[in-house]
Amino acid sequence: MRVARYVGEGRVEIIEEPAPTCPAGGLLVRTLACGLCSGELMSWYMDRKIPHVLGHEVCGVVVESDSPEFSMGAKVFPHHHAPDPDSALTRRGAAVHDPVWRATRLQPGGMADLFAVPAPNLADTIRTDDLRGVDAALIEPLACVAKAIRRLHLRGDESVAVVGLGVMGLLFMLALPSAVGCDLNPERRSWAESLGLGVCPPEGLPESEVVIVCPGTGPALDLALARSAPDPRVCLFAPLAPGEVYPLDLHGLYFRDLTLTCSYSCGPEDTKVAADWIRGGLVRAEQVVSRFIALEELPGAYQEMKEGRTLKPMVIFDEGAWA
């Protein structure tokens, strides 16, 4: 079967590998659609995972099952990590810190013709027979947005700003339609405007009570802190690179009553929320995916997304992804 492997130095190759087998208690899944995550563009993150098969924003059809919960032919979204549902960390909403969550993964990854879902991953696998595959493949990134919103404890009357209008910024804006978003890239602002979202250049970002920072960069955080209102909550949605030190004026931030919230990945309660949002029509793939491509086109599309020349590609493995 074909897989998309990250091989280092910002390069992806499509290679042939043996197909996985159905794991005990798990599933073997034929891929319908898989999105390229912006996190998979970070060289410092990807280089330490070599060799690595891309893909965790995925939907597929079960072709072999060793689980009574999922029959052959079922359409599924499996999260690439899943916690022990009964752990103390999971029960308090911190599933991503559960040791089981960190140890689980899809085999070899979602950017493959076939992938295996081990039994522990079924703790965060959702049947999506009622969704188009291209939409179900957005459950994981939208769930990351749902987690951040949950952690921010938003009130209905608060002003919200979003820094960065890549795909994650767009998902925040679709989930929070009264928010105002900004981006340096005029093409990204135009894309957001075409969706009817409130957009401005960075210098026009209004002072807001809640500011969500999508890019993991110092300048993006600078802007968020500068445009946050008194008693603000600022969400750091992506990490800075390892070893990158950001200076915080703790004296000034103390007297502003600032709350800095970080939000990393998502857990089962967040994927359920995201699936319900998609079922309710909150997001459709065409709103945030700029290119639907074949797997062989992924190496070039990877470079285009990494260089900011395309918003988001999604690989279509089977025309059933549109059903």
Mean pLDDT of the chain: 97
Q: What are phi and psi of 152, to 5 degrees?
A: -80, -15
Q: Flag whether pLDDT at 156 surpasses 90.
A: no
State residue 145's pLDDT score: 98
Q: Flag whether pLDDT at 187 surpasses 90.
A: yes
Going by pLDDT thresholds of 50, 70 and 90, the confidence category of residue 105 is very high
Q: Flag whether pLDDT at 14 surpasses 90.
A: yes
Percent of the chain exceeding pLDDT 70 equals 100
State residue 63's pLDDT score: 98
Q: Flag whether pLDDT at 134 surpasses 90.
A: yes
Q: What are phi and psi of 313, to 5 degrees?
A: -95, 150
Q: What are phi and psi of 162, to 5 degrees?
A: -120, 120
Ranges of H-type helices in 158-249? 167-175, 186-194, 218-226
Q: Flag whether pLDDT at 120 surpasses 90.
A: yes
User: What is the average per-residue pLDDT within 143-156?
Assistant: 96
pTM flag (> 0.95): yes
Name residues whose C-beta falls within 8 Å of residue 249's C-beta, 6 or more positions apart in sequence: none
Whether the CA torsion 286, 110, 70, 119 is positive or negative: it is negative
**269 Cα distance to chain centroid:** 15
Under the phi-then-psi rule, with left for phi > 0, alpha for psi from -120 to 50, and beta for the rest, what region is 105?
beta
| Structural domains of the chain, ranges and CATH numbers in brackets | 2-138+283-322 (3.90.180.10), 144-262 (3.40.50.720)
Angle between helices 139-152 and 167-175 (to 10 degrees): 60
Q: Flag whether pLDDT at 51 surpasses 90.
A: no
Q: Tens digit of pLDDT for each residue in 175-186?
A: 999 999 999 999
Dist. CA 133–CA 233, nearest whole Å: 35
Q: How far is CA 297 from CA 4, 180, 221, 302, 304, in A?
A: 10, 34, 34, 9, 11
Going by pLDDT thresholds of 50, 70 and 90, the confidence category of residue 166 is very high
